[in-house]
Amino acid sequence: MTFDFYTEDSSKYTVGDNKVLKNSEILAAGNIFIFQLLPGYPAFLIISRDDFLHPTIIKTPPVTSILPDYEYFDGKQCPEKIFYELKFFLNKYSKRVFTFSCMGIDQVHAEHLVRLRYGSQISIFRVKEINQTNNMSKGKFICC
């Protein structure tokens, strides 16, 4: 399994069966354990070569682009996501209410995604978990 993801600093990371590349240069080789790989958060990759050497831990800048099938959270691929609707003001003086809907691992992840999109100065006043309907199945969701 080989896949790519991109980070905030416009770097392209390629994760292969036994190596990690950054912009086509090898960063580390060995057994790869992906601990975290989610949009908006730094990726954490742990590479071990053998039992006698310490593992190499790679922490990337925040991820900006990754296919949903290759997302990881706490070492599990394709973590279950929840659909959230967030209501917020752009700043503390604004009277216009904005709504943002997204799929997140938890409420903190959803709030982080809206702050990435609109800036850290926003004032979130409501986070609502949207219940699943009959036409939505439980489990993996794909969010754009």
Name the burial class of residue 141, with classes exposed (0-12), middle (13-18) and buried (19+) by CB atoms within 10 angstroms of its CB: middle
pLDDT of residue 20: 97
Rounded Cα distance, 65 and 90, in Å: 25
pLDDT of residue 91: 86
Q: Six-digit token pair at 56?
A: 């190499």
Assign a CATH topology to domain 82-129. Answer: Ubiquitin-like (UB roll) (3.10.20)
Q: Where are the domains of the chain?
A: 3-77, 82-129
* pLDDT, mean over the chain: 89
pLDDT of 61-78, one tens digit each? 999 999 999 999 999 999
pLDDT of 114-134, one tens digit each? 999 999 899 999 999 987 554
Give the pTM: 0.79
